[in-house]
Amino acid sequence: MQVTNNRESFSDKIKEYKSRGDKITLIPTMGNLHQGHQVLFSKAPKNTVKVATIYVNPLQFTDDDDYQNYPKSFQTDLEVCRKNDISLVYAPDGDISHEVGTEKNIDLPKFTRYLCGQKREGHFLGVYKIVKYFFNIVYPDFACFGKKDFQQLLLIKYLANTYFPKTRIIDVDTVRDANKIALSSRLTRLSKESLSSTCIIYETLHNMKSELLKGATIDNLKEESVEYLESNGIHVEYLDVRSLITLEEATDRLKSCGIFIACYLDDVRLIDNIEI
Give tens-digit pLDDT for 88-128: 999 999 999 999 977 888 999 999 999 999 989 899 999 99
Q: What is the pLDDT at residue 24?
A: 98
- C-alpha closest to that of 224 among 215, 243, 211, 233: 211
How many angstroms separate the Cα of 160 from the Cα of each of 15, 130, 134, 154?
Answer: 20, 13, 12, 10
Question: Catalytic one among 34, 37, 123, 206?
Answer: 37
- C-alpha closest to that of 169 among 184, 180, 158: 158
Q: What is the pLDDT at residue 125?
A: 96
Superfamily (CATH H level) for 2-172: HUPs (3.40.50.620)
Mean pLDDT highest for which of 56-70, 71-85, 181-195? Answer: 71-85
- Known active-site residue 37: yes
Residue intervals in the chain for CATH 3.30.1300.10: 185-271
Starting at the earlier edge strand, list the strands of the sheet with 268-275. Answer: 235-243, 257-265, 268-275
Q: What is the pTM of this model?
A: 0.94
Question: Yes or no: is domain 185-271 CATH 3.30.1300.10?
Answer: yes
Residue intervals in the chain for CATH 3.40.50.620: 2-172
Percent of the chain with pLDDT over 70: 100
Of 30-34, 205-209, 231-235, 249-253, minimum mean pLDDT range = 249-253
The Cα–Cα gap between 99 and 253 comes to 45
* 3-state SS, one letter per residue, for the chain: CEEECCHHHHHHHHHHHHHCCCEEEEEEECCCCCHHHHHHHHCCCCCEEEEEEECCCHHHCCCHHHHHCCCCCHHHHHHHHHHCCCCEEECCCCCCHHHHCCCCCCCCCHHHHCHHHHHCCCHHHHHHHHHHHHHHHHCCCEEEEECCCHHHHHHHHHHHHHHCCCCEEEEECCCECCCCCECCHHHHHCCHHHHHHCHHHHHHHHHHHHHHHCCCCHHHHHHHHHHHHHHCCCEEEEEEEEECCCCCECCCCCCCEEEEEEEEECCEEEEEEEEC
- C-alpha closest to that of 205 among 233, 236, 231: 236
In degrees rounded to 5, what are phi and psi of residue 9?
Answer: -70, -35
The Cα–Cα gap between 11 and 15 comes to 6
